[in-house]
């Protein structure tokens, strides 16, 4: 069985949905499981709904209406008859969102976030499944929340592999074309959980692992894995082949084309991962699998923006050693800071973090009681794998370097 993952860009409008059909017809769709993201920028729009719910409920009606209207436009483009059952199915899903926002009593942002945002995927797969059936491509729609079971760490849930394996074995018919959602799971109380932003790739890997799939293909609007993000770098090159190890390194440093958690389950069963273009589906793209290194071996550039660099030093010039570092990492963990880089000397400790849960101010107040703290917000972390002098010079020119760290294969620069 094969697992295909289609992201939001591939189903952002009616033409995108029709192009997915074109891809399936070109590469085949028997014995295939489709993992599909929310349409276009729907996840961002759903986040706007959650933010309005917590910050200004007067904005809720317009935020919800915007999402409904966006999907209604796609429905009307795909289904000329507005009496088609899919209209009622989609309306029911949006009614569920609005109902939840009325009866919910939980003050916890993470819980509300997961219950609301996950509907983006439920709606997109409902529309795609109905359209495929309409044009004669029979398929089975599956609610991924009945497959992937997790703990209740909302917004960043951890998979219960044993329960998930049992569910997938029982509920996925390998003989059919199956369609399900990325990004989502459910906890023991059957509340929706999410696997972290961009978690649909991870969903594909989880299901591939449980199905012993032959391969996973991530369909994107780029020709494969490039040596740099074309939004931020010029003259990018396609990487034809990457080993699991190298791909995990790139993902760890923040390469956005592959989710950091995606590769581990695939590596364990040596399931190859293909990253291909949904615009040119017959092109070879990039293959990630068992092997050595990267081909071609060129410098790979990665940038992570809007991070925070904190430089800590002891107030009494005492050494920052094991007990201090242990305490620091506990504070970072307790405040859900994703650590992207660390550097320490005898009396100082620098750390570059992602403040995605907006707990920086609380953390800084605690740190300032123990350390002298200088922090810089809005910094960018540049990483070059397989760097050379030319690549390093191209990044350094015209930038204020706040911190630099070099290894044998990798150099990292924090710039303002």
Domains, the chain, with CATH or none: 2-220 (3.40.1160.10), 300-415 (3.30.2130.10)
DSSP H helices, 187-261, are 200-211, 244-253
* Other residues' Cβ atoms within 10 Å of the Cβ of residue 104: 14
The CA-based dihedral angle spanning residues 271, 273, 278, 282, taken in that order and rounded to the nearest 10 degrees: -80
Per-residue pLDDT of 166-207, as tens digits, reads: 999 999 999 999 999 999 999 999 999 999 867 899 999 999
Three-state secondary structure along 354-377? ECCCCCHHHHHHHHCCCEEEEEEE
Which pLDDT value is given to residue 8?
95
Residues placed in the known binding site:
121, 231
Which pLDDT value is given to residue 114?
98
Q: How many CA atoms lie within 13 A of 19 on its CB side?
A: 19
Which pLDDT value is given to residue 123?
98
Residues placed in the known binding site for ATP:
231
Which pLDDT value is given to residue 257?
66
Which pLDDT value is given to residue 261?
87
Which pLDDT value is given to residue 118?
96
User: For 285, left (φ over 0), alpha (ψ -120 to 50), or beta?
Assistant: left
Share of the chain residues as helix, strand and coil, in percent rounded to the nearest 5: 40, 25, 35
Sheet with 273-277, strands from edge to edge, namely 140-141, 178-181, 32-36, 2-6, 215-220, 273-277, 286-289, 241-243, 294-295
Per-residue pLDDT of 262-303, as tens digits, reads: 999 999 999 999 999 999 999 999 999 998 789 999 999 999
Q: What distance lies between CA 28 and its chain's CA centroid?
A: 26
Residues placed in the known binding site for substrate:
121
On whether the CB atoms of residues 122 and 46 are closer than 8 A, the answer is no
Which pLDDT value is given to residue 314?
87
Residue-level length of the chain: 416
Q: How far is CA 261 from CA 245, 256, 308, 336, 366, in A?
A: 13, 12, 23, 17, 31
> CA–CA separation, 287 vs 349, rounded Å?
39
Which pLDDT value is given to residue 71?
98
pLDDT by position in tens, the chain (length 416)? 999 999 999 999 999 999 999 999 999 999 999 999 999 999 999 999 999 999 999 999 999 999 999 999 999 999 999 999 999 999 999 999 999 999 999 999 999 999 999 999 999 999 999 999 999 999 999 999 999 999 999 999 999 999 999 999 999 999 999 999 999 999 999 999 999 867 899 999 999 999 999 999 999 998 999 999 888 998 899 999 999 989 988 888 888 768 768 999 999 999 999 999 999 999 999 999 998 789 999 999 999 999 999 999 988 878 888 888 898 999 999 999 999 999 998 888 999 999 989 999 999 999 999 899 999 999 999 999 999 999 999 989 888 999 999 999 999 999 99
pTM of the model: 0.85
> CA–CA separation, 236 vs 73, rounded Å?
36
């Amino acid at each position: 069985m094969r697992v295909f993952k289609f992201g939001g860009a591939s189903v952002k409008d009616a033409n995108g949905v029709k192009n997915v059909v074109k891809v399936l017809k070109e590469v085949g769709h028997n014995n295939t499981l489709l993992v599909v993201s929310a349409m276009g920028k729907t996840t961002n729009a759903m986040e706007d709904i959650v933010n309005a719910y917590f910050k200004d409920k007067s904005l809720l009606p317009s935020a919800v209406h915007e999402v409904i209207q966006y999907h209604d436009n796609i429905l009307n483009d795909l289904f000329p008859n507005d009496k088609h059952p899919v209209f009622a199915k989609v309306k029911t899903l949006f009614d569920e969102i609005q109902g939840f926002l009325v009866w919910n009593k939980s003050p916890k942002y993470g819980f509300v976030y997961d219950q609301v945002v996950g509907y983006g995927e439920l709606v997109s797969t409902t529309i795609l499944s109905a359209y495929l059936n309409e044009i004669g491509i029979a398929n089975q729609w599956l609610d991924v929340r009945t497959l992937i079971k997790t703990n209740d760490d909302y917004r960043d849930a951890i998979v219960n592999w044993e329960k998930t394996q049992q569910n997938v074995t029982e509920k996925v018919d390998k003989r059919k074309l199956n369609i399900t959602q990325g990004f989502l799971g459910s906890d023991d109380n059957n509340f929706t959980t999410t696997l972290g932003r961009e978690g649909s790739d991870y969903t594909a890997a989880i299901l591939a692992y449980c199905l012993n799939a032959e391969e996973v293909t991530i369909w994107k609007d780029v020709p494969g894995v490039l040596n740099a993000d074309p939004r931020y770098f010029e003259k990018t090159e396609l990487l034809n082949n990457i080993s699991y190890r190298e791909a995990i390194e790139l993902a760890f440093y923040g390469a956005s084309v592959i989710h950091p958690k995606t590769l581990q389950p695939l590596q364990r069963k040596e399931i190859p991962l293909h990253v291909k273009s949904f615009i040119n589906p017959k092109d070879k793209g990039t293959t990630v699998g068992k092997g050595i290194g990267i081909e071609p071996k060129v410098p790979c550039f990665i940038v992570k923006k809007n991070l925070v660099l904190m430089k800590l030093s002891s107030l009494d010039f005492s050494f920052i050693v094991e007990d201090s570092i242990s305490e620091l990492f506990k504070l970072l963990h307790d405040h859900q800071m994703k650590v992207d880089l660390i550097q320490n000397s005898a009396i100082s400790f620098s750390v570059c973090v992602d403040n995605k849960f907006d707990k920086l101010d609380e953390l800084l107040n605690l740190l300032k009681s123990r350390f002298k703290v200088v922090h810089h917000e809005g910094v960018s972390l540049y990483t070059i794998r397989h760097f050379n002098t030319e690549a390093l010079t191209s990044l350094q020119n015209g930038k204020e370097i706040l911190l630099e760290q070099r290894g044998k294969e990798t150099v990292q620069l924090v710039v303002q």
